[in-house]
Amino acid sequence: MPDSNEKPVSFKELERHFQARKAVNDTPIQIERRFHVQADREPVVKTRLERVDRGDNQLHWEIVVELDGIRAGSRALPPALKGQAVKAERRKVSEDELARQLTSFIPDHLGFNATPVELQKSIKTIREVVGERRVATTIFGTDNRRAFRDTTYPWSTVGLVQTNRGSGSGVMIGPRHLLTVSHVIDWTAPAGFAADWVRFTPSYYDGTAPFGEAYGSHIYWYVKEDGDGFITGDEANFDYVVVVLDRRLGETTGWMGARGYNDDWDDLAVWSHMGYPGDLNGGQRPTWQGGFRVDGTDADAQSILHKADVFPGQSGGPVFGFWDGDVGPRAVAVQSWQTSSNNGASGSMDMRDLVARARSEFA
């Protein structure tokens, strides 16, 4: 187990310290896919299976669900979230103890790759504005984002977050714990609830959901982003939430660990990021970029500056590194905002503490 001051493993050394492996066993997994309906009585449900031939000699199946008794033209939404605001306060346990508690987890049914192996060519679906006045860009120099299909660990832990406000990215940070940004959450919840619905689909790719999906049931936060379209002040430092999911999805996908950022790590080219950018592939495929530097802003609650390439949709995706002695990576921040001079992630010590609280109160 690394101590709190140990530096992350150099990006060039990753595959030496964290060797790729196949799954320990081939145990089939159970997944859930869901949708919601309105009906005046309990619907009658019928299901059937049909083979799908795609010419690749693989066994593809279509699951057909027929529902009888649905109210015509009705729309139904998922459950809203309970929750509570949390006050950032002095930590009651040591950083080394929290590092031991907030470790990562790799299920035996998943393989491991320190960098994704199923890289894909991206299609540019939103192009930059070109004219006499250049708009603020979030791509610095060459675009280094790479789309991927890899479902080994840790690529299995990141997925698409969907809410009433649109979509973003998120990462499993515990057995039933999702880390994402505050500004993707719909805080205009029905009476008696903290926030409206959240759906998480890990390893979402072109509509597929190899690990199923889960919905939020509870939420922890420090600051609610106010929805005005700008991330300013405390919003930039605290633009993250932990959503407790309604089932232990992490036992299927695995999860990343969490760690507070140490400013001694400024300028180390050791960090990676994953997310779902809207300008590539219509936000339907995850992208990855690795080996970039960050610069913390010297506080427990930090905006962590970087020049990794980002676009809306990547918000909530983790900034993470690997430490010798761990089984997998740890997230230190989530992508939050962008300008023409820097991109910014929110995280550090207070983020780690929020994760610790959510994981201790919802095992």
Both 63 and 173 in one domain: the answer is no
Q: How far is CA 27 from CA 49, 111, 113, in A?
A: 22, 12, 19
Residue 142 lies in a domain: yes
Both 119 and 60 in one domain: the answer is no
Better-scored residue on pLDDT, 131 or 79: 79
Both 183 and 54 in one domain: the answer is no
Nearest of 351, 337, 347, 265 to residue 308 by alpha carbon: 337
Both 134 and 162 in one domain: the answer is yes
Both 56 and 119 in one domain: the answer is no
Q: For residues 209 and 34, is the Cβ–Cβ distance under 8 A?
A: no
pLDDT tens digits, 92-116: 667 777 877 899 999 999 999 999 9
> What pLDDT shows up at residue 303?
87
CA distance 84 to 354: 11
Cα dihedral: 189, 207, 200, 98 (round 10): -150
Residue 4 lies in a domain: no
Both 55 and 140 in one domain: the answer is no
pLDDT tens digits, 182-191: 999 999 999 9
Token pair recorded at residue 344: 């910014």
Residue 31 lies in a domain: no
Nearest of 119, 153, 359, 169 to residue 253 by alpha carbon: 153
- Residue keyed to tokens 């962590």: 304
pLDDT tens digits, 123-175: 998 876 554 444 456 899 899 999 999 999 999 999 999 999 999 999 999 99
Both 63 and 200 in one domain: the answer is no
* First-residue to last-residue Cα distance in the chain: 22
Count of alpha carbons within 13 Å of 134, Cβ hemisphere only? 6
> What pLDDT shows up at residue 132?
47
Token pair recorded at residue 248: 């232990």
Both 270 and 182 in one domain: the answer is yes
CA distance 282 to 262: 35
> What pLDDT shows up at residue 137?
63
Q: For residues 225 and 231, is the Cβ–Cβ distance under 8 A?
A: yes
Token pair recorded at residue 213: 């999906």
CATH number of the domain residue 255 falls in: 2.40.10.10
Residue 45 lies in a domain: yes
Number of domains observed in the structure of the chain:
2
Token pair recorded at residue 265: 């790590």
Residue 347 lies in a domain: yes
Cα dihedral: 95, 100, 105, 108 (round 10): 160
Both 158 and 57 in one domain: the answer is no
Average pLDDT value over all residues in the chain: 92
Q: Please state the rounded mean pLDDT for residues 309-333.
A: 96
Residue 33 lies in a domain: no
Domain span at residue 43 reads 39-70
Residue 339 pLDDT class (50, 70, 90 cuts): confident
Residue 3 lies in a domain: no
The CA-based angle 339-154-333, given to 5 degrees, is 35
The DSSP secondary structure of 16-33, one letter per residue, reads HHS--B--S---------
Both 308 and 342 in one domain: the answer is yes
The CA-based angle 302-304-309, given to 5 degrees, is 155
- Bond prior to 154 in cis (omega within 30° of 0): yes
Both 57 and 194 in one domain: the answer is no
Q: Which amino acid is at 43?
A: P
Q: For residues 43 and 35, is the Cβ–Cβ distance under 8 A?
A: no
> What pLDDT shows up at residue 1?
57
Host H or E run for residue 52: strand 39-52
Residue 2 lies in a domain: no
Both 178 and 100 in one domain: the answer is yes
Q: How far is CA 233 from CA 10, 263, 337, 340, in A?
A: 32, 20, 12, 18
